[in-house]
Chains A and B, each alone.
Chain A
Amino acid sequence: KNQVEQSPQSLIILEGKNCTLQCNYTVSPFSNLRWYKQDTGRGPVSLTIMTFSENTKSNGRYTATLDADTKQSSLHITASQLSDSASYICVVSAHSTGTGTYKYIFGTGTRLKVLA
Chain B
Amino acid sequence: EAGVAQSPRYKIIEKRQSVAFWCNPISGHATLYWYQQILGQGPKLLIQFQNNGVVDDSQLPKDRFSAERLKGVDSTLKIQPAKLEDSAVYLCASSSGGPRDSYEQYFGPGTRLTVT
Do A and B interact with each other, yes or no? no
